[in-house]
Amino acid sequence: MKLLLKNTRTLTENGEFEACDVLIVENMVQTISSFIEIEDVDRIIDCQERLLVPGFIDVHIHLREPGGEHKETIKTGTKAAARGGFTTVCAMPNTNPVPDKLETVQQLLERIKNDALVRVLPYAAITKGLKGEELTNIDQLSKLDIFGFTDDGVGIQAADAMYRAMQLAAQNGKAIVAHCEDNSIVYGGVVHDGAVSKRLDLPGIPSLSESVQIARDVLLAEATGCHYHVCHVSTKESVRVIRDAKKAGIKVTAEVTPHHLLLSEDAIEQDDANFKMNPPLRSKEDQDALLEGLLEGTIDFIATDHAPHSSDEKAQGMLHAPFGIVGLETAFPLLYTYLVKQNKITLKQLVDWLTIKPASIFGLPYGKLAANVVADLTLIDVEREMNIDKHTFYSKGKNTPFHNWNVTGVPVLTICDGEIVYEEDFHV
């Protein structure tokens, strides 16, 4: 199979646009050049000067399969990923059964092989059943095709469990990826403990519940030499702890979500569970500190925490609905519109935070647009305007606080491993 992309624009290291043709042979980018003309290709696509970037990488999504297929499946979740321009996604283990032993991880890998439209790298659990007690067999599971270890959805409460998990993960060259939440100071909260919890008279989740656990864990990472990655950082104190830990030479990395970058608790006008996620939307100062942390490199990249739930579940309101919002199909348009176009970040920074940054931190051979690299590519119409309509999502989850938002900049073609996995009818 030979595919020729004519008339693209790529981003140079300096963030300038460069006119390019790109030849893909089988699953690899073979040639990138200002002008390619060859006869024997299977297909030529005129890209009409649209922006060609490496396929996006999201190390934090929930696919819900097995066990939660009414919320999402590997098929629907990866279709949503392809539409959002993502070619590699890492699936969280809070499923039923939990991938916490050889058999369940192997079964999950088999399902992925059969159903996934884009590359899915699954996590294995740190503790059996995500209960925080007994460790999984980290030595054994590390030999399988897993991305890393996490108990996302819950924090690991006992320092001893985290300590031993980090020792084993370090010996096996795997990362510990942590949802940081000290349950003893959550107090049944459902939104941030601050202006919004007071205004809506809802129980609040203190910022401390996150930062306290990160502070503990960076010390454990220092003691063990483990690569410790912090999920969805949401508070200014967490940013400071991670900044200080990096300064001390500790192997800590961190991600932030689009919603924590773009929203604060002030966006929550009423009891609407489309604004309920864990960690919650924090104060404006926290939101500002997250962008600052990203710009200065304390936070390394962006991940969506795509967390689909059914409409019935979300209709239960702030007190009873499950935590989580979807993100794959809105991430790039939102970040491009509200950060790049508002001159808060550059297009190059945004693309790097969605591609080469996560790839290089986790040692993945993807995330760059170059000859002799796997052809994971996303074509973006940066001028295209769109009104976000949750009813059009490929994801089963319609739980988004961004419904009806106007955005500019839409992925129109996604190629994963040399194959077109999403294609909008843009070139007619």
In this structure, how many other beta carbons lie within 10 angstroms of the beta carbon of residue 156? 29
DSSP state string for 87-101: EEEEE-S-SSS-S-S
Instruction: Spell out the SS3 assignment of 31-59.
Output: EEECCCCCCCCCEEEEEEEEEEEECEEEE
- Annotated binding residue 324: yes
User: What's the CA gap between 273 and 293, in Å, rounded?
Assistant: 28
Q: Which is nearer to ligand DOR, 97 or 322 (CB)?
A: 322
Q: Which residue is at the shortest CB distance from ligand DOR? A: 324
Q: Find the part of the chain contacting Zn ion (CB under 5 A) among 151-159, 380-388, 407-415, 417-425.
A: 151-159
- 406-416 β-sheet, strand order: 28-33, 17-25, 2-11, 43-54, 377-387, 406-416, 419-423
In whole angstroms, the minimum distance from the beta carbon of 60 to Zn ion comes to 6
Q: Which is nearer to ligand DOR, 293 or 324 (CB)?
A: 324
Interface positions, 7-36, toward ligand DOR (CB under 6 A): none
Interface positions, 241-300, toward ligand DOR (CB under 6 A): 277-278
User: What's the CA gap between 254 and 290, in Å, rounded?
Assistant: 11
Q: Which is nearer to ligand DOR, 86 or 275 (CB)?
A: 275
Contact map string, positions 139 to 158, toward ligand DOR, x by CB under 6 A: -------------xx-----
In this structure, how many other beta carbons lie within 10 angstroms of the beta carbon of residue 382? 18
Helix (H) or strand (E) holding 73: none
In this structure, how many other beta carbons lie within 10 angstroms of the beta carbon of residue 377? 26
Q: Find the part of the chain contacting ligand DOR (CB under 6 A) among 14-22, 318-326, 341-349, 399-407.
A: 318-326
9 binds, among ligand DOR, Zn ion, none (CB under 5 to 8 A by kind): none
**Position 390 contacts Zn ion (CB under 5 A):** no
User: What's the CA gap between 100 and 285, in Å, rounded?
Assistant: 38
Q: Tokens in use for 352?
A: 């790097």
Q: Tokens in use for 389?
A: 């309509």
Among candidate residues 193, 305, 352, 376, the one labeled active-site is 305
Report residue 260: phi and psi, to 5°. -75, -25
User: Please, are residues 172 and 142 in contact by the beta-carbon 8 Å criterion?
Assistant: yes
Helix (H) or strand (E) holding 385: strand 377-387
Question: 240: which residues sit within 8 A by CB, 6+ positions away?
Answer: none
Contact map string, positions 40 to 79, toward ligand DOR, x by CB under 6 A: ----------------------x-----------------
Q: Which is nearer to ligand DOR, 141 or 277 (CB)?
A: 277
**Position 409 contacts ligand DOR (CB under 6 A):** no
324 binds, among Zn ion, ligand DOR, none (CB under 5 to 8 A by kind): ligand DOR
User: What's the CA gap between 58 and 3, in Å, rounded?
Assistant: 25
**Position 79 contacts Zn ion (CB under 5 A):** no
266 is catalytic: no
Q: Which is nearer to ligand DOR, 131 or 344 (CB)?
A: 131
Q: How many residues does the chain have?
A: 428
**Residue of 137, 208, 225, 323 interacting with ligand DOR (CB under 6 A):** 323
17 binds, among Zn ion, ligand DOR, none (CB under 5 to 8 A by kind): none
Q: Which is nearer to ligand DOR, 152 or 381 (CB)?
A: 152
**Position 94 contacts ligand DOR (CB under 6 A):** yes
- Rounded to 5°, the CA angle 220-222-225 comes to 100
Q: Find the part of the chain contacting ligand DOR (CB under 6 A) among 202-210, 316-324, 405-413, 417-425.
A: 316-324
Contact footprint for ligand DOR (CB under 6 A):
62, 94, 152-153, 179, 277-278, 307, 322-324
- Catalytically active residues are 305
Which residues are annotated binding-site positions for substrate?
A: 62-64, 94, 278, 309, 323-324
